[in-house]
């Protein structure tokens, strides 16, 4: 059985700095969606992700949704994906 991987990162506002309590979604292409919410510093972690290719998006009311495609999760590795809200 393969060891799962994870995403981590931080979401910044283009003007005001860290973006607290914004949703983060990860969708394995053609499969399930998982998500979390950033903490007060804008940081997030998504653990236990099956190996594969994902689309990661950051959204918050009043800001454009930012999406990163073709993000690879490898076994027992951490992939850093950050965002910048405009």
Check if the beta carbon of residue 5 is closer than 8 Å to that of residue 74: yes
Total of domains in the chain:
1
Residue 83: inside a domain, yes or no?
no
86, two tokens: 């405009």
Beta strand pairing status for 5-13 and 43-49?
antiparallel
Residue 51: inside a domain, yes or no?
yes
Domain hosting 17: range is 5-77
Q: What are phi and psi of 68, to 5 degrees?
A: -115, 125
Decide: pTM greater than 0.75. no
Query: Hey, which residues does 35 pair with through a beta bridge?
Result: 25
> Given CA atoms 53, 9, 44, 67 in this order, what sign does their dihedral have?
negative
- For 13-53, the pLDDT digits (tens) are 655 544 556 778 888 876 778 888 888 778 888 888 888 89
């Amino acid at each position: 059985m393969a060891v799962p991987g994870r995403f981590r990162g931080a979401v910044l506002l283009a003007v005001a700095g860290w973006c607290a309590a914004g949703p983060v979604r990860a969708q394995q292409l053609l499969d399930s969606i998982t998500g979390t919410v950033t903490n007060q510093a804008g940081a997030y972690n998504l653990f236990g992700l099956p190996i594969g290719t994902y689309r990661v998006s950051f959204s918050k009311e009043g800001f454009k949704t930012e999406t990163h495609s073709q993000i690879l999760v490898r076994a027992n590795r951490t992939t850093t994906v950050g965002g910048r809200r405009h």
